[in-house]
Amino acid sequence: MKRNRSAAGTGHAGRIPPVYRAVMAAAGPIVRWWGRLEVTGLHHLPAHGATIVAANHDSMWDPVVIAVAARRHRQIHALAKASLWNNALLRRVLDGMGQIPVRRGEADTDALDAAVRCLTGGGCLGIFPEGTRSQGRRLRARSGAGRLAQAVPEAHIVCAAVSGTVDIARFPRRPRLKVTFFAPTPPPPSESARELAARLTAELRAVAPVATAGRRRPPDDGPG
């Protein structure tokens, strides 16, 4: 775990790792063709320099879909739950992609340090201000995104509102995936880390409301 976090803090602005390219190539047809991916506002995502991509989180597919949406523009490193590293094969993939493990429900200073190294090295870091998947609930924002923004004030903040990912599991019905990149509103004076995270979450949810994952579509979802 320590090795991964140390490696995750270096070389972010350089060549995209082969493992990342391979994962994007494998996921691309699923997301772009099967998922009928629509991407808007990509010009808000800087091609270079420290960048924080804040996104809403309803499905396990969210980080993959956002990464595919940005693949020709930027590599996105992501904070992911540390338990994913328990699987040896998945650990090799995540390490090869430069992802950063984070222990949820506790103050994980190692993960925060690795994320800061990513940003100060000119990398692009993806984070979910809600901290975990919504599972159909409206969650209170956690302070992590705000703490990162305060730790690296030169980092550019971009919101990525993702929708349709909960429908991927509803095979054979094809989903309609959409990622909307946009700039958040300017921060008010003396905004705290938690207030910043809450503001980002509110703006994301205004574009992509909470959606419930699962095989069955909610009855009020309408025909599609």
Q: How far apart are CA 56 and CA 201, in angstroms?
A: 7
Which residues have CB under 8 Å from 14's CB, separation 6+?
none
What pLDDT does 182 receive? Answer: 98
In a domain, 219, yes or no: no
What pLDDT does 117 receive? Answer: 95
Does position 3 have pLDDT exceeding 70, yes or no? no
Does position 104 have pLDDT exceeding 70, yes or no? yes
Each residue's pLDDT tens digit, 151-192: 999 999 999 999 999 999 888 899 999 999 999 999 998 999
At 47, list the tokens: 């091609």
Does position 105 have pLDDT exceeding 80, yes or no? no
What pLDDT does 51 receive? Answer: 98
What does the DSSP 8-state code read for residue 154?
T
- For residue 34, how many other CB atoms are within 10 A of its CB? 13
In a domain, 220, yes or no: no
What is the phi-psi region of residue 22: left when phi exceeds 0, alpha when psi lies from -120 to 50, beta otherwise?
Answer: alpha
CA-based nearest residue to 127, from 155, 93, 169: 155
Does position 143 have pLDDT exceeding 70, yes or no? yes
In a domain, 188, yes or no: yes
In a domain, 98, yes or no: yes
In a domain, 223, yes or no: no
In a domain, 58, yes or no: yes
**pLDDT band per the 50, 70, 90 thresholds, residue 216:** low
Taking the chain, what is the end-to-end CA distance rounded to the nearest angstrom? 44
The domain total for the chain is 1
Percent of the chain with pLDDT over 90: 65
Measured in degrees and rounded to the nearest 5, phi and psi for residue 181 equal: -90, 135
What pLDDT does 223 receive? Answer: 38
CA-based nearest residue to 164, from 11, 58, 30, 52: 58
At 118, list the tokens: 């990513």
Percent of the chain with pLDDT over 70: 88
Which residue range(s) make up the domain with 146?
Answer: 2-214
What pLDDT does 45 receive? Answer: 97
Does position 136 have pLDDT exceeding 90, yes or no? no
Which residues have CB under 8 Å from 50's CB, separation 6+?
119, 120, 122, 123, 124, 152, 154, 155, 156
Residue with tokens 């949820």: 104
What pLDDT does 202 receive? Answer: 97
By the 8 A CB rule, do 43 and 183 touch?
no
Compute, in degrees rounded to 10, the torsion defined by CA atoms 179, 183, 188, 194. Answer: 30
Chain centre distance of CA 145: 11
What does the DSSP 8-state code read for residue 73?
T
Q: How far is CA 6 from CA 118, 158, 163, 194, in A?
A: 10, 25, 33, 27
**pLDDT band per the 50, 70, 90 thresholds, residue 80:** confident
CATH number at residue 28: 3.40.1130.10
Weakest-pLDDT range from 21-25, 137-141, 170-174, 219-223: 219-223
At 212, list the tokens: 């419930």
**pLDDT band per the 50, 70, 90 thresholds, residue 107:** low
Q: How far apart are CA 45 and CA 5, in angstroms?
A: 25
Q: How far apart are CA 218 and CA 42, in angstroms?
A: 31
Does position 81 have pLDDT exceeding 90, yes or no? no
In a domain, 197, yes or no: yes
